[in-house]
Structure 1
Amino acid sequence: MFKLAARQQWDACADGWNGKSDLIRNWLRESTDAMLAMADIKTGARVLDVAAGAGDQTLDIARRVGPNGYVLATDFSPAILAFAKDNAWRAGYANVETKAEDGETFEVAEASFDAAICRLGLMLFPDPFKGLKRMVHALKAGGSACTMVFSTPEQNPCIGVLVSTVFKHADLPLPDPYRPGGLLSLGKPGLMDELFGRAGFSHVATTKVAAPFRLPSVQDYLDFVRTSASPILQILAKLDDARRETAWAEITDKLGAFNTSNGWEGPNELLLTVGRRPTI
């Protein structure tokens, strides 16, 4: 039921999420470049992009590997993956293929990719360990994978504001931020290294990256949130109009704490974890 609801939510939000691609690209520009460098993506490489979404990072990979390289973008939402396919076609990248696959169970030939990445998707998996195992399976010996997830609640306060306020207005107990499938589920210190190691990766290392979300106003951030497939939207949808608007008003007020003289700047910290498939 969890995956079915999540898939339906992403399918419903696909158009809006794709419409925010430029905003997302600007927000994650430096951290995405770092992720691709850590995954050692080179000209001519075969690269697996897991939970690719609308695929703006897929285009970056396609450019890096060049016409002799290959990118397979997967996502469990066929609707959002259709945008990734169209965006690659519009950009003129004939080296991109898309395939609707669950990130925990996708099927590819063993040892068929030089590198794999997963940008802000792994933390939404009910069982991220399964996803990492599939990435190890897909990689050639010595091939690298790099994932990007949110770090601790303290370093990502805007997510905390959204979750705590929505759960309060829905009269629900505040969930454990590290619960499986949540936005912050993989932020616990040491957890990503432990999961990579158990999955079979060697040379595992995690780097913290600051990724502030800079926008003209808090309303611009909330416009972005409303196009996401966050579980908080599913909860808000169950409230009556008055309670829902009261919740949004309180969220707006609390997030106003991040207003600056140059607009709105929401703090975020990401974890980039890299590992290799052993050569022996």
Structure 2
Amino acid sequence: MESQLEEIREQQKASWDKFSPGWKKWDTLMMGFLHPMGAEIIRLLQLKSTDTVLDIAAGTGEPGLTIASLVPKGKVIITDLSEDMLEIAKENALLKGISNIETKACDVCELPFEDDTFDAISCRFGFMFFPDMLMAAKEMARVLKPGGRIATAVWNGPENNFWITATMDTIKKNITLPPPPPGAPGMFRCAGDGFMTNLFTQAGLKNVSQTEVTGKLKIQTTETYWTMMTEVAAPIVAALSKTDEATKAKIKKEVFEKINERYPEGQVAIDSSALVIYGEK
């Protein structure tokens, strides 16, 4: 792997290790938010009870843990770059009484599995973080059995995801952020229509399709929204760490105004949109 890609990978690992406590704290709320995308992945994978499944970039364990409950005679290997996130996944498996899983910290571009190992692969919101997305897709295809199914979710465009742009756009209005280096991870890196379907096709997958899935971040209050976003969203935390307290206070005030204008009655439930891409080997 090129040194630049290795650097991005190591930055990602350090970031997810650092933010794992925040993800653990907000796990129930975030997993509820991301559930519709995981449910569509599972629907497309047409799982059999004996399947061996790989869940890539699983973080705190989903949708891998739900998949494990659907393949009682099979097994799920849950992977992530961050050991700390996988520790939370193991805790969640114990809490749910799920035993047919293994966890493995690894890089998606160098999967430590033999060719033709898995019946199905899931990857919910992982591709935007991968240094080399085509290499990742090819690695997934390599370890998939002939006839195996793969499904992944990526975020749709920023205009459809106010839950993140409410804060990030406000930050960009108040702080001059350096442009990200070419190939750097980003929320909307995979959002272009046809981007992921083309990537899957390039990786040698067939019967490729794309479906939009919408959801809601049911955060209830603006204060809860701000607290959560500043504890789990690495780009937001990184940007705010580079400015003074007065600017942070101004950004917070403007974010509150944006959210409260859109949800004047309270009960904040912010729309989101993702794309779920499916393919077969």
Q: TM-score, normalised by structure 1?
A: 0.91
Residue of structure 2 equivalent to 1:50: 56
Q: How does 1:151-190 map to 2 (within 5 A)?
A: 151-172=156-177, 180-190=184-194
Residue type of the alignment partner of 1:48: L
Residue of structure 2 equivalent to 1:238: 242
Residue type of the alignment partner of 2:155: F
Q: CA deviation at 1:4?
A: 2.4
Q: In percent, how many aligned pairs have the same letter?
A: 31
Q: CA deviation at 1:149?
A: 0.8
Asked whether 1:257 is paired with 2:261, we answer: yes
Residue of structure 2 equivalent to 1:146: 151
User: Residue 34 of structure 2: which of 28, 34, 44 is its match?
Assistant: 28
d(CA) in 2 for partners of 1:26, 1:39? 20
Residue of structure 1 equivalent to 2:47: 41
Please say if residues 48 and 115 of structure 1, whose CA atoms lie closer than 8 Å, have aligned partners that are also in contact.
Answer: yes
Q: C-alpha offsets along residues 203-231 of structure 1, whole Å, 9 cap, x if unaligned?
A: 00000011121221122222221221422
Q: CA deviation at 1:174?
A: 7.0
Q: CA deviation at 1:190?
A: 1.0
d(CA) in 1 for partners of 2:12, 2:174? 22
Q: CA deviation at 1:175?
A: 6.7
SS at match of 1:212: strand
Distance 1:48 1:241, change over 3 A: same
Residue type of the alignment partner of 1:276: E
SS at match of 1:267: strand
How many residue pairs end up in the alignment?
Answer: 275
Q: CA deviation at 1:247?
A: 1.9
- Structure 1 residue runs without a partner (length 5+): none
Residue of structure 2 equivalent to 1:268: 272
Residue type of the alignment partner of 1:123: M
Residue of structure 2 equivalent to 1:124: 129
Q: CA deviation at 1:251?
A: 2.0
Q: CA deviation at 1:74?
A: 0.6
- Structure 2 residue runs without a partner (length 5+): 1-6
SS at match of 1:23: helix
Q: CA deviation at 1:179?
A: 6.5
Q: How does 1:7-156 map to 2 (within 5 A)?
A: 7-66=13-72, 68-156=73-161
Distance 1:88 1:121, change over 3 A: same
Distance 1:163 1:191, change over 3 A: same
Larger mean Cα displacement after TM superposition, 219-228 or 32-41: 219-228
d(CA) in 2 for partners of 1:59, 1:252? 35
